[in-house]
Amino acid sequence: MITLWQSVADFICEEYDKWLGGGVIIDSPLPTPTHKTTPLNQILYGPPGTGKTYSTIDKALEILRHYDKTIEIPESREAKCKIFDKYRANKQIEFVTFHQSFSYEEFVEGIKPKLIDSSESVESSEMSYTIKSGIFKKICKSALDEQTKPYILIIDEINRGNISKILGELITLIEPSKQIGASDEEKARGIGNESLEVTLPYSNDSFGVPSNLYIIGTMNTADRSIALLDTALRRRFEFVEMMPDSSQLKPCGNIDLARLLDKVNERIEFLLDREHTIGHSFFIGVDSLDKLREVFKLKIIPLLQEYFYDDYAKIQAVLNNNDMIKPKPKPEFLPKFSDEVNDEKVAYEIEKEWQKWESWQFVKIYNSRATKQQNQDFGESNEDE
C-alpha cells in the first residue's frame, strides 16, 4: 500500500511541476535565456516610481539582443534610447498607453467616419465610413510579414483600461499556444502548437497573433492590485515585480536618502500595504536640499494625501512628526458648540513656507533624535518613533 501511494504522490508532484513550469520539471536546470525562452507576454508591476516604464526599454533591447547577437546593449541610458528609437522608427517597436476611454476599435480595428471631398475649394459635409486598423492589428501584420525579426508592443498602464473590452477575442489569441507562424521547435515547447485564427467583426479578416510578437505591459499596483486582474489575463502573462530599491539612491548632503525611503515605506506598509509604497525614482537625481524640498512638496506629500484620503495624522506618522505638517489652532467658536462638535478633533495643515524646510526635518524621518538645534550630520543612529 505504501509503495502504491508513493507512486501516486510522485506522479502528482511530477505533473504539478510540469504544469507550473510550462512543461519543464522544476528540479531540472532551466536553460540559459534565449529568444526561444524569453516570455512572449510579460507585465512589469509595482508601486509608483519603481521604474516600470523606464525598464521597458531594457526589456525591449534584451529581446532584440536574443534575436541578433550583433546588437550590443550599451551601459548609458542615452545610448540605449538611441537604439530603442531606431527600432521604433522601423516600426519593430510600438508604444501605447491604456486609459479608461481606450477601446477595441482603437486597439484592433473599428469603423471610422471620413469626410467626402466634393471639390478642391469647398469642404464637404457628407461622410463615408471606413474600416481602420488599430495599432495591434498593424504590428501583428508587420510581424507576420517578417517572422525572422522580433516585434515588440509596449502597453503602458495596462490595468487602467477596460482590458476585457479592449482585447475582446485577443485574450485567447495572445496565449502562446494559440499564436501562429511558430517553428517546429517552438511548437515542441508549447508555442503555437494549437494555433488559432478568428474572423474579425468589422473587416471579416482572418486574424491571428504571430509568435514573434512580444507584449510588454506595465502596471501600477497603487491603482489596482494584481489580485484584481482578470484570471484569463493573468494566465497569459508572466509577471515581474518591481519594488522600491533604495540602493539606487545616493546621499543628499547629510541626508541619507536610502534610509529615508526605507523608513517611509516601512510605515506606509504598516499603515496601508506594500502596493502603495513609494518608488526610488522620485529621488533619482536629487542632489540638493532645494530639489529635495520640491520633491516632497510637489510629489511625495500629495501622493501621501491621496493614499490616506487626507488623514493627516497618518501622514504625520509616516513623516515621523518632522514639522512639515502641523496641527492647526482650535477655532475660537468651538466652545460655543461643544455639545455638537467633537472638540478632540485635530485639523492639520502643510507648512506654507516649504522652501524653508531644513535638512534636520528630512533626517528626522529616519532618525528621531534629529532636532532643529541639531541641523547637522546626525551620524548613523537609527532610532525611530
Residues 215 and 293 in one domain: no
Among 241, 263, 297, the domain boundary falls at 241
Residues 19 and 35 placed together within one structural domain of the fold: yes
> DSSP class of residue 75?
S
Q: What domain range includes position 31?
A: 11-241
Strands 325-327, 348-350: pairing is antiparallel
**For residues 24 and 30, is the Cβ–Cβ distance under 8 A?**
yes
- Residue 60 φ then ψ, to 5°: -65, -40
Residue 382 domain flag: no
Residue 385 lies in a domain: no
Cell of 250: 545616493
Say if residue 278 is in the same domain as residue 200. no
3-state class (DSSP) for residue 282: helix
Residue 282 domain-assigned (yes or no) = yes
What are the φ and ψ backbone dihedral angles of 20, each rounded to 5 degrees? -65, -35
Write down which residue in 241, 265, 298 finishes a domain.
Answer: 241
Q: Are residues 263 and 230 in the same domain?
A: no
Domain count, the chain: 2
Answer yes or no: is 121 within a domain: yes
Which of 241, 272, 300 corresponds to the end of one domain? 241
Q: Are residues 23 and 131 in the same domain?
A: yes
Task: Answer whether 219's CB lies under 8 Å from 50's CB.
Answer: no
Assigned domain for 5 exists: no
Instruction: Please indicate, yes or no, whether residues 186 and 324 belong to a single structural domain of this protein.
Output: no
**Looking at the domain assignment, is residue 3 inside a domain?**
no
Per-residue pLDDT of the chain (385 residues; tens, 9 = 90+): 444 434 434 544 454 344 344 433 333 333 334 445 689 999 999 999 999 999 999 999 999 998 887 788 899 999 999 999 999 999 999 999 998 899 999 999 998 887 776 555 555 567 788 899 999 999 999 999 999 999 999 999 998 888 888 988 888 999 999 999 998 888 988 899 999 999 999 999 999 999 999 999 999 988 766 655 677 778 889 999 999 999 999 999 999 999 999 999 999 999 999 999 999 999 999 999 999 999 999 999 999 999 998 789 899 999 999 999 888 776 666 565 565 555 567 778 888 889 999 999 999 999 998 887 666 444 444 445 4
CA distances from 48 to 23, 54, 127, 233, 282 (A): 34, 12, 44, 22, 9
Claim to verify: residue 103 and residue 194 sit in the same structural domain: yes
Residue type, 363: V
For every residue of 160-172, DSSP letters joined together read GS-HHHHHTTHHH
Instruction: List the CATH number of the domain containing 31.
Output: 3.40.50.300
Q: Are residues 198 and 272 in the same domain?
A: no
Residue with cell 508532484: 13
- Beta-carbon contacts of 167 under 8 Å, excluding residues fewer than 6 positions away, are 104, 107, 174, 233
CB atoms near residue 163 (< 10 Å) = 19
Take residue 22 and report the three cell numbers written for it.
Answer: 510550462
| Same-domain pairing of 124 and 213 | yes
In this structure, are 192 and 222 located in the same domain? yes
What is the 3-state secondary structure of 232-263? HHHHHCEEEECCCCHHHCCCECCECHHHHHHH
What does the radius of gyration of the chain's CA atoms come to, in whole angstroms?
27
Asked whether residue 6 is domain-assigned, the answer is: no
C-alpha dist (Å) from residue 296 to 31, 184, 350: 45, 55, 11
List the strands of the sheet with 151-156, edge to edge. Answer: 93-97, 151-156, 213-220, 41-46, 238-241
Are 173 and 289 part of one and the same domain?
A: no
Show the 3-state SS of 90-152.
Answer: CCCEEEEECCCCCCHHHHCEEEEEEECCCCCCCCCCCEEEEEEECHHHHHHHHHHHCCCCCEE
Instruction: Answer whether residue 383 is part of any domain.
Output: no
- Do 218 and 285 share a domain, yes or no? no
pTM listed for this prediction: 0.81
Residue 286 has a CB neighbour count (10 Å cut-off) of 19
Query: 369, 252, 268: which is closest to 382 by C-alpha?
Result: 369
